[in-house]
Amino acid sequence: MLTLERASKTYRVGAFGGGRLVAVRDADFSIAQGEVVSLIGESGSGKSTIGRMILRLISVNGGRITLDGDDIAALRGPALRAYYRVVQGVFQDPFSSFNPIFKVDHAFSLLRGLHGGGLADEAWRLRVDEALASVGLEGGQVLHKYPHQLSGGQLQRVLIARALLLDTRFLVADEIISMLDASTRIDVLNLLGDLKARGLGILFITHDLSLANYISERAIILRRGRVVESGPTRAVFENPLHPYTQQLLGAVPRLHEKWGTGPRSGKADACCYHDAITTTHETGLPAMVEAEPGHFVGCANLYGVCPGDTGAVVRATA
């Protein structure tokens, strides 16, 4: 289980670092193997920051991230290499992940130097071919080409195959669909579905609600670095409770409607959950209301107002 426990990230900003920018605040959720969890929010909401914290590309300022109960911030040397064997990431722009002066097989050889040095040449080639075959590619078609000679979809598949060369259990997929054309998107999404069926846990970071609805079992809505709503994807999409979630869904274009004719998202007059979780706010613990089984919504007074009824119960998330 990969778990975020009140994970936070604050950057120092300004000419002399005197200012502070809170990018992520008290993120609290988990990802199990064989599960796709969508992390949804607008640009600047902190989605990619969470992905980078999980991959240890940036440090956590508060809280912690654990893998099977072990704090990843404490990992060093062999323990850290072991972590990267099971947790890998694929990013938005596949072209930026390759050095353009090297052929594609160079990316695999670098990985072998770190994690596969004990394998004989033939065994390593067989392992690479199997990883490529699992994403629908043949080694002879891609390995001896330069990155610019392959399409974006092919490069994304190569990156996923590279991750699968290890004993990957969790994959951070950060906006990996956004730069692909429509026909290639569905292929990559179906590939992620196949990987899920094989037992991979996937954090699918996206701002596209239709993609999240297509692929994930659970959806987490992020607003200004804070989780404001989470639950089964169907529950969140069919019964959005936080105003930000409602605004996101209200902004999705509809194929059967012309611009200007569809519904617009609105706001209620007060946060119905605020009184229920005020005491939790005072203790400093992040809390969300369980509005229906497994469906949690946070107090919206931090960002405006929220709708709903007062029959919900409070459950602290930390």
Return the pLDDT at 116: 55
Q: Which residues pair with 227 in a beta bridge?
A: 222
Q: Where does residue 175 fall: left (phi above 0), alpha (psi -120 to 50 degrees), or beta otherwise? A: left
What does the alpha-carbon distance between residue 164 and residue 90 come to, in Å, rounded to a whole number? 11
Per cent of the chain over pLDDT 70 is 80
105 and 140 Cβ atoms separated by less than 8 Å: no
Exposed (0-12), middle (13-18) or buried (19+): which is 6, by Cβ within 10 Å?
Answer: middle
Which is higher by pLDDT, 279 or 241?
Answer: 241
Residue-wise DSSP of 59-123: --SEEEEEETTEEGGG--HHHHHHHHHHEEEE-S-GGGGS-TTS-THHHHHHHHHHH-TTS-HHH
Average pLDDT for 77-82: 88
Return the residue matching tokens 């969890």.
37
Return the pLDDT at 31: 94
What does the alpha-carbon distance between residue 120 and residue 157 come to, in Å, rounded to a whole number? 25
Return the pLDDT at 82: 87
pTM (two decimals): 0.80
191 and 198 Cβ atoms separated by less than 8 Å: no
pLDDT in tens, 123-180: 888 888 888 887 778 888 888 899 898 887 788 888 888 887 877 899 998 888 776 7
Q: How confident is the model at residue 310 (pLDDT cuts 50, 70, 90)?
A: very low
Q: What is the mean pLDDT of the chain?
A: 79
Average pLDDT for 41-52: 89
pLDDT in tens, 290-307: 888 889 888 655 433 344
Question: Domains of the chain, with CATH numbers?
Answer: 2-238 (3.40.50.300), 240-318 (no CATH)
pLDDT at residue 37 tops 70:
yes
What does the alpha-carbon distance between residue 46 and residue 136 come to, in Å, rounded to a whole number? 32
Characterize 103-141 residue by residue with b for buried, 16 or more Cβ atoms within 10 angstroms of its Cβ, and e for exposed: bbbebbeebbeebbeeeeeeebeebbbebbebbebebee
Adjacency order of strands within the sheet including 62-67: 19-31, 2-13, 62-67, 70-71
